[in-house]
Structure 1
Amino acid sequence: MHTLYTCILYNLDTFVLYIYLYTFPVPSYAKCLVGGLAIVIGWPSAFLPACGPRCPRKVDLSLVPSCAVLVLLKLASSSSTSVHDLHHVSRLASSLLLLAALVRANSHDHAAADHNLRAQRLAKKQDGARVFNLVDSAEGPNFFDSWAFMTFDDPTHGLVQYVDRDTAFAKGLAYVRDDGIAVMRVDNTTWLADGQKRNSVRIHTAKSYGQGLFIADILQMPYGCSVWPAFWSNGANWPAGGEIDVIEMIHNSTSNQSTLHTTPGCHLDTSRYNPDPKQHISAKTFTGQVVTTNCDAAVDNNVGCGIRNDDPSSYGFGLNGAGGGVVAALWNEDGIRIWHFARANVPADIDAKTPNPDTWPAPVAFWSTDTCPTSQFFTDQSFIFNITLCGDLGNGSFNEYDCPGTCSAWVMDPAHFRTAIWKVKYFRVYQ
């Protein structure tokens, strides 16, 4: 009558507990209690006595002692329970109480271990995601303190005369508004003879930077027939130091193009193209349209390897109409990535000065080190804002953008340049 029902071996840390369960004339309470405990600690159901439909699905361990006492009282009050049965019941209850104590202790140990494991995983995740620190910022009343004004002839042969700092401020071509917004523009008051150069601005960061995250908040950018603006960077001894064009197009374009220019050997990896903007950065892909793949500045008149962003809010009239936007360039061991965020979609971590590109959507442009090792083709970069007119890119494409006449004749009229203006909230460097 008191045959061995089953033997359950359960390892609780350094404890090995053998529990012998016997069948009883009135077994339901004991079986129910054991079944509930088994559910809590995860014993395989095949090793357990069958539980009736009245058994709970889960037993709170804090109730185990009272449940064990209840089993004893119920069995003791039964007229069919013998003294010998009570002896085995007491053994069962004692075992259950011991088991409950061990399970509780073990559960606390496991909870602590789980907490430590979660903390370790979180720390590992935080270690894996690079933390960017703000190292330089050009914004507010002192925006132009971080820049040098260039006065050399435009290397792209544009019809502009870049002016120095004093001239730019005196003529209203560069200034900071009362709200801290930096303004750079082309002269829009002077009539010129055909072929004469118009005053404009080209500024370079006073410092050059190695790998890092570079972010600019742009409220308004230049556009219009003959207008060729750019926000870009280059290294020393171009093209040996490389060039990164973040924003650049011409005339009344409705799309932006980002391009690299290098010495021979750097190419765009077109297999990285994937149009889904919801990709994670770890996918190492990009969403823009491939234009050209050879980054060599000596090939095809220096077209470079370009990626086009067809989002109208990425350039010119569309960007201005959207309230501006934010562009970010990340240069690291993986390669070079570029993002454009319309004003309504700027990540909160950018505004908070705690940028985390790991959480951003896929970039519009990505040049992988697999086909263009950046350490080989890029040296420290100086960032540049400029506005040129016509030039190598603008002359031949003038009529393609529904611009009338010739580019040089267009430059004569100052009224054509009311929209040839940069308005920049900040430029920040994180490393």
Structure 2
Amino acid sequence: MRTGYALLLFFGHTFIPAASARFSLKDSYVGQNFLDGWTWDTLDDPTHGRVNYVDKEAALSSNLSYASGSKFVMRADDWNTVDSDARGRDSVRIISRNAYDEALIILDLQHMPEGCGTWPAFWSLSQQGPWPNGGEIDFIEGVNLDTQNLASLHTTPECTMPQSRLESGNPTSLECNANVNYNQGCGVSFAKPASYGSPFNAEGGGFYVIARTKQEGVRIWFWSRNEATIPDEVRNPPDESQAIEPQDSWGIPEAVFPLDNNSTCDYDSHFNAHQLVFDLTFCGDWAGSAYSTSGCGGTCEDFVNKNPQAFSKAYWEVNALRIYTANY
């Protein structure tokens, strides 16, 4: 039975609940498609990282970004030391030209940045802004030697999450308001193994699926590359001729953020169309503050400045990113 179409009998009457959204392919980014559909940001890192984001021309000429017919890679400079008066280690931050509201995102990721001092993220933010207006959703995020993924929301005031939700992950914080708790946001730490960092890469990566609707909020699933339970429609996503929707057979999501009008964070007040972002910064507000307890040696900025070889595994390798938009 397709989720959302069950008939309910109540006091002799038959009620048909509102149908769950189905999603049709809007954009597909594979290999060289990233070069035309995304912008290379060169801003000063808003999280105060030890990073120098370079433009597209510089990234391509120095192989910090490159694409084949089936792969797209973004990585850090792993050959130069960094002067103490420089902005930081060369790296890449890209943002999608298109923005998406209610959507389903399937990311087939082969490798993510790992290692001491790193702070990679795949996330989205409001195209309209200014931040945090319109919200931020972090799909993949972690620092240093973390091995479990953290998903989070960062919003304007009056947005909180319930402690108890039908999700596999574990809530780390319930207050989504970016103006409190030093912008911690409301987070969920994944429970599945190999969802982040070195264990993720050792398994050959995996699949993240994000469904975002007004009716069911934000739900995030994860499957490691070698899991037997990866749905076929996730491993082999449909093209423009077919629709897709989350199925009960996908199992319980790792993270769930309710955003309907009956929740403590309504969708329309806190979210609008989002652009997607991949980035890789170093140290900064989170990786820097957590560095001393991470098992990494020295200080974060010294490590980043003086050890280029330590960043040989600090790269994103994307097999495919597909975005499907909602229709009811």
With structure 2 as the length reference, what TM-score do the two structures score? Answer: 0.86
Amino acid at match of 1:350: V
Superposed counterparts of 1:181-200, under 5 Å = 181-194=71-84, 196=86, 197-200=88-91
Shift of 1:144: 2.2
- Work out whether residues 76 and 280 of structure 2, in 8 Å CA contact, stay in contact via their aligned partners in 1: yes
Shift of 1:129: 5.0
Amino acid at match of 1:301: Y
Q: Distance in 2 between matches of 1:418 and 1:188?
A: 6
Give the equivalent residue in structure 2 for 1:136: 27
Q: 2:212 aligns with which of 320, 331, 343?
A: 331
Give the equivalent residue in structure 2 for 1:291: 172
Amino acid at match of 1:221: M
- Work out whether residues 207 and 234 of structure 2, in 8 Å CA contact, stay in contact via their aligned partners in 1: no
Give the equivalent residue in structure 1 for 2:181: 300
SS at match of 2:60: helix
Q: Distance in 2 between matches of 1:331 and 1:142?
A: 24
- Work out whether residues 188 and 414 of structure 1, in 8 Å CA contact, stay in contact via their aligned partners in 2: yes
Q: Distance in 2 between matches of 1:262 and 1:129?
A: 25
- Work out whether residues 195 and 408 of structure 1, in 8 Å CA contact, stay in contact via their aligned partners in 2: no
Alignment of 1:176 onto 2:84: no
1:381-409 per-residue CA deviation (whole Å, 9 max, x = no partner) reads 00000000000101121121111110010
Give the equivalent residue in structure 2 for 1:351: 235
Q: Distance in 1 between matches of 2:205 and 2:79?
A: 25
SS at match of 2:23: coil
Superposed counterparts of 1:24-423, under 5 Å = 128=19, 130-177=21-68, 180-194=70-84, 196=86, 197-235=88-126, 236-272=129-165, 285-332=166-213, 333-345=215-227, 346-354=230-238, 355-359=244-248, 360-369=250-259, 370-412=263-305, 413-423=307-317
Distance 1:368 1:231, change over 3 A: same
SS at match of 2:101: coil
- Work out whether residues 270 and 293 of structure 1, in 8 Å CA contact, stay in contact via their aligned partners in 2: yes
1:16-47 per-residue CA deviation (whole Å, 9 max, x = no partner) reads xxxxxxxxxxxxxxxxxxxxxxxxxxxxxxxx
Gaps of 5+ in 2: 1-6, 8-14, 239-243
SS at match of 2:44: coil
SS at match of 1:394: helix
Shift of 1:208: 0.8
Q: What is the root-mean-square deviation of aligned Cα atoms in Å? A: 1.8
- Work out whether residues 159 and 195 of structure 1, in 8 Å CA contact, stay in contact via their aligned partners in 2: no
Q: Distance in 2 between matches of 1:306 and 1:195?
A: 35
Shift of 1:358: 2.1
Q: Distance in 2 between matches of 1:378 and 1:386?
A: 21
- Same amino acid, percent of matched pairs: 38
Q: Specify which structure has the higher proportion of helix.
A: 1
Distance 1:129 1:334, change over 3 A: closer
- Work out whether residues 76 and 315 of structure 2, in 8 Å CA contact, stay in contact via their aligned partners in 1: yes
- Work out whether residues 174 and 182 of structure 1, in 8 Å CA contact, stay in contact via their aligned partners in 2: yes
Q: Distance in 2 between matches of 1:252 and 1:239?
A: 28
1:344-392 per-residue CA deviation (whole Å, 9 max, x = no partner) reads 2321012332443123111111111212112210111000000000001
Amino acid at match of 1:424: V
Give the equivalent residue in structure 2 for 1:424: 318
Q: Distance in 2 between matches of 1:287 and 1:379?
A: 27
Shift of 1:310: 3.3
Give the equivalent residue in structure 2 for 1:22: none
With structure 1 as the length reference, what TM-score do the two structures score? Answer: 0.66
- Work out whether residues 183 and 422 of structure 1, in 8 Å CA contact, stay in contact via their aligned partners in 2: yes
Q: Distance in 1 between matches of 2:85 and 2:264?
A: 42
Q: Which has the higher contact order (CA 8 A, sep 6+)?
A: 2
Shift of 1:195: 5.8
Q: Distance in 2 between matches of 1:189 and 1:387?
A: 16
- Work out whether residues 173 and 201 of structure 1, in 8 Å CA contact, stay in contact via their aligned partners in 2: yes
- Work out whether residues 216 and 327 of structure 1, in 8 Å CA contact, stay in contact via their aligned partners in 2: yes
- Work out whether residues 186 and 198 of structure 1, in 8 Å CA contact, stay in contact via their aligned partners in 2: yes
- Work out whether residues 349 and 356 of structure 1, in 8 Å CA contact, stay in contact via their aligned partners in 2: no
Name which one, 1 or 2, has greater alpha-carbon Rg.
Answer: 1
Q: Distance in 1 between matches of 2:201 and 2:178?
A: 31
- Work out whether residues 129 and 358 of structure 1, in 8 Å CA contact, stay in contact via their aligned partners in 2: no
Q: Distance in 2 between matches of 1:371 and 1:382?
A: 24
Shift of 1:191: 1.3
Amino acid at match of 1:136: D
- Work out whether residues 231 and 245 of structure 1, in 8 Å CA contact, stay in contact via their aligned partners in 2: yes
Q: Distance in 2 between matches of 1:195 and 1:378?
A: 39
Amino acid at match of 1:420: A
Aligned residue pair count: 296
